[in-house]
Structures are given as C-alpha cells and as structure tokens.
Amino acid sequence: MSLEDPQTIRKLWIVSLVVLALLVLADFWVMKDPHHHAHFGIDGSFGFYSWYGFGVCAVMVLVSKFVVGLILKRKDTFYDD
C-alpha cells in the first residue's frame, strides 16, 4: 500500500469523511454533558466548532492567497543581488 496510490487516497478520504460526520454527530452527546456551556451563545450551538473550524480556515487561506498574496508576493529571488 503506497500513499501515492489513488486507491489508497480514495480510501483515506472515505474514512476521514466518516470520522468527520461522526464528530459532528457527537455534539448530541456533548450538549448533554454537564461541562458543556456557552460563553457567547453561538459557541454552544450544535455543530459550532465544526463549521467554525472549516469556515475560518477557508477564509484565512483565501484571504492569504488572493488578498495578501496578490499584493505582497514576490519571486523568492527578490532580495538576491
């Protein structure tokens, strides 16, 4: 089994997506836990950490690449003489 094999990559994707789905569903259990409490309202809602984690990362990647990168990116020989 090689990690470069498309078959392996496909299997890894399936396993990962199942794990992610189970993690979202785990919120049913978490929300009944005595330690569960929201500090700001929305952070206690169902699935918050899942969509927030995905959302902010997507935003950070896109902003880095297409806003900051567009303005400040240079060839890596920029400072060479």
Partner 1 sequence: MTEAGLPPPGLILVLGGLVLPLLRGLGPAIALLLPLLTLAAIWAIPTDLTVTMPFMGQYDLTVLAFNPPTRVFATIFAVMAFAGALFAHPITGIDSERGKRWRVELPAAFVYAGSAICVTFAGDILSLFIFWELMAIGSTTVIWSAGTKEAGRAGYRYALVHFVGGVLLMAGILAKVFALQSAGVADPLALHHYFFGAAGFEGLSLGTGDLAAWLILLGILVNAAAPPLGSWLADAYPEASESGTVFLSAFTTKTAVYVLMLLFAGTQLLVYVGLLMAVYGIVYAILENDMRRILAYSIVNQVGFMVCGIGIGTAMALNGAAAHAFAHIVYKALLLMSAGSVLYMTGKRKCTDLGGLYHSMPITMTCGIIGALAISSFPLTSGFVTKSMINQAAADQHLALAWFTLTAASAGVFLHAGIKFPWFVFFQKDSGLRPPDPPWNMRAAMIFFAAVCILLGVPGLYGPLYSILPFPAAEGETLYAPYTVPHVINQLQLLLFSGLAFFALLPVLKRTLTITLDADWFYRRLFPGAWKHLVRPVVLAFREFFDYLFNQIPQMLKDTVYSPPQETRVFKEWGLGGAMVVITGFLFAYLVLGYIAA
Residue ranges that bind partner 1, judged by CB under 8 A: 3-4, 16, 19-20, 23-24, 26-27, 29-30, 33, 35-36, 39-40, 43, 49-54, 56-58, 60-65, 68-69, 72-76, 78-79
How far apart are the C-alpha atoms of 32 and 30, rounded to whole Å? 5
Whole-angstrom Cα Rg for the chain: 20
State the nearest-atom distance from the C-beta of 20 to partner 1, in Å.
6
State the nearest-atom distance from the C-beta of 2 to partner 1, in Å.
9
How far apart are the C-alpha atoms of 19 and 4, rounded to whole Å? 22
